[in-house]
Structure 1
Amino acid sequence: MQIAQLNWAKGVDYSSDTGVVDFFSLAKGGYSFAIGRALYGLAPDTSFAANYAATKKAGLVRGGYQFARPKLSTAQAAATAMVKEIEGAGGFDGLPPAIDAEYGTDVQGLSPEELTDWVLTWIAEVRALTGVRGMLYTSTAFLTECLQPERLKDVPLWISSYSVSQPPNAGPITQYNLWQHTAGLNSQLKVPGIAPYNQIDLNVFAGTVAELKSWCEGVNGVQATPMKVIVHGQTVDAYAIGDQVYLLWKDAGLQDKKVDNVWHFEPQHQVVETKVKVNGAESQAFVVDGDTYVNWAALKNIGILTDLKIDGEFNFTVTPNATK
């Protein structure tokens, strides 16, 4: 696998065992991301929610992982618990959620096929519930001995491998996205924001900080939450994307464009960002399941139109799409 480069983004991973972390000092010290343990099996980590929020406030790219206990729960139940934990702590807006598969009594007796099935089902369930693609955390030894690397070669990989200049290849897997290269640091190797003798792991992302942020956007996608809004007494479809509300283009002809504060949130979907022209003025829009949604704010600026036919008053022009 790759040899780490000096300009690669540096990060840490932590749990309640780490103790107090000063994420602002960590960020000032040159670290760019932090991944916290969200769940041990189905049990929430007591420090995760507060640390997850603190990570974002410090300007770090944040993420969460779940310690896999496949003999104690189904992959679907584990994924559902993980999604609930992350969304309750602030949502998916950084590194992809990771499933931590490693040696222990929770995996003894399971075959590589069974374990790989469990991991892939967890990833698929997270994707189905959120539109976000999951990531696998594991060691090079566990990957080759206890899993089926040939079935995992397309899964984002966070590899752990210590005291080496580069992690060894694992069958057809010759690349990683993140590398946990040092485990359990103490006062002999000081990390900004970490108290003496507190344990924390060091990682790198296989790219620069800018490439890290771009990769996270590509993995997570632009997220849209479908909802129903009441406009002038009529219920119409809409999507919340960020802090904006988007109406279906064909429903934009209603005269009263005030929302009655009625939102019905459903599971998130991935969307494609695009641009449209409304009477010659370019506006942001999104394509969801083949339908185009235009920014609510843009519709306020089109003036009073008596004829709202798409092929008439509106100049609908799609510019090159960009999937995030």
Structure 2
Amino acid sequence: MSTQTKGIDISKFQGHEINDINTSNTDLNFVICKATGGITYTDPDFSTNWNAITKQGFVKGAYHFYYTNDAPQPQSNNFITALGDNFPSDAFPPIVDFEETSIKTQDKNQIVSDLLTFLGILEEKYGRVPMIYTDVNVGNEYLNDPRFKKYPLWIANYTTKSAPTMPGAWTGTEWVLWQQSDNYKIGDTANDYDLFNGDLQQLKDFIANH
């Protein structure tokens, strides 16, 4: 793939930015928003963002911020409650955000087992193969189990403008989704900036196959 499709990811920290942007006044094609975290938290702007992303013409996605000290079943229940029983077929697959601040416990085997359980619950519920968001350090430290490879990786790497390093179970594979910056400005609002490794049609094909 040579063409890259541009997007951002947002949460309550971007306020009501989604109401001011669309596919006509930006060169963005997708917007991913935070839905939930742990077993009780729901982003206060999730419902508004989730609906507005579609109205503004973007491909959409939603993620759950995972904590290792919360059991996988109630975490998945929290995410599913926010998203509803039917996950849109034209959206990114469900995404789990697993990063440094997710790590609240020490038993790596338990962390791996619980995270795989969480992913499996979402896959069974929605019939979609979830995605994982992480960075190189966490990926190399915790996500080496080959069972993770089936889940497409959204890699965070702000230090390179060439192809990002793929960690853990994805070593040697081609990147799919890349969070390249956390300071992409739209007006005065800073956003996380993301690239999909393909054109818009390839993005839609990816979604259809995951």
Query: TM-score surpassing 0.5?
Result: yes
1:150 and 2:146 matched:
yes
- Distance in 2 separating the partners of 1:172 and 1:67: 20
- Distance in 2 separating the partners of 1:218 and 1:24: 31
- Distance in 2 separating the partners of 1:116 and 1:70: 9
**Is the contact made by 1:143 and 1:149 (CA closer than 8 Å) also made in structure 2?**
no
In structure 1, the residue matched to 2:47 is 49
Give secondary structure in 2 for the equivalent of 1:110. coil
Pick closer, same or farther for the CA change 1:30–1:147 going to 2, 3 Å: same
In structure 1, the residue matched to 2:180 is 181
Q: Deviations over 1:213-238 (max 9, x none)?
A: 1111221xxxxxxxxxxxxxxxxxxx
The residue type equivalent to 2:45 in the other structure is S
TM-score by length of 2: 0.88
Q: Deviations over 1:19-69 (max 9, x none)?
A: 221356342211111110001223110001111101001111111001111
Pick closer, same or farther for the CA change 1:60–1:121 going to 2, 3 Å: same
**Is the contact made by 1:23 and 1:58 (CA closer than 8 Å) also made in structure 2?**
yes
CA shift for structure 1 position 115:
2.1
2:78 to 72, 78, 81: 81
Give secondary structure in 2 for the equivalent of 1:204. strand
**Runs of 5+ unmatched residues, structure 2:** none
Q: Deviations over 1:76-116 (max 9, x none)?
A: 2111221221127x843300111100112x51433333222
In structure 1, the residue matched to 2:195 is 204
**Is the contact made by 1:111 and 1:146 (CA closer than 8 Å) also made in structure 2?**
no
In structure 2, the residue matched to 1:40 is 37
**Is the contact made by 1:123 and 1:134 (CA closer than 8 Å) also made in structure 2?**
yes
Which structure has greater helix proportion?
A: 2
In structure 2, the residue matched to 1:137 is 133
1:215 and 2:206 matched:
yes
1:18 and 2:32 matched:
no
- Distance in 2 separating the partners of 1:63 and 1:69: 20
1:110 and 2:106 matched:
yes
Q: Which structure ranks higher in relative contact order (CA pairs < 8 Å, sequence separation ≥ 6)? A: 2
Give secondary structure in 2 for the equivalent of 1:96. coil
1:9 and 2:2 matched:
no
The residue type equivalent to 1:181 in the other structure is Q
Give secondary structure in 1 for the equivalent of 2:122. helix
**Runs of 5+ unmatched residues, structure 1:** 220-324
The 5-angstrom pairing of residues 60-75 of structure 1 reads 60-71=58-69, 73-75=70-72
The residue type equivalent to 1:111 in the other structure is D
Give secondary structure in 2 for the equivalent of 1:22. helix
The 5-angstrom pairing of residues 275-290 of structure 1 reads none
What is the identity percentage for the equivalent residue pairs of Structure 1 and Structure 2?
25
The residue type equivalent to 2:65 in the other structure is F
**Is the contact made by 1:99 and 1:119 (CA closer than 8 Å) also made in structure 2?**
no
The residue type equivalent to 1:206 in the other structure is N
CA shift for structure 1 position 70:
2.1
TM-score by length of 1: 0.59
**Is the contact made by 2:68 and 2:104 (CA closer than 8 Å) also made in structure 1?**
no
CA shift for structure 1 position 141:
1.1
**Is the contact made by 2:67 and 2:104 (CA closer than 8 Å) also made in structure 1?**
no
The 5-angstrom pairing of residues 213-292 of structure 1 reads 213-219=204-210
Larger radius of gyration: 1
Give secondary structure in 1 for the equivalent of 2:93. coil
- Distance in 2 separating the partners of 1:56 and 1:161: 27
Aligned length: 204
- Distance in 2 separating the partners of 1:79 and 1:116: 15
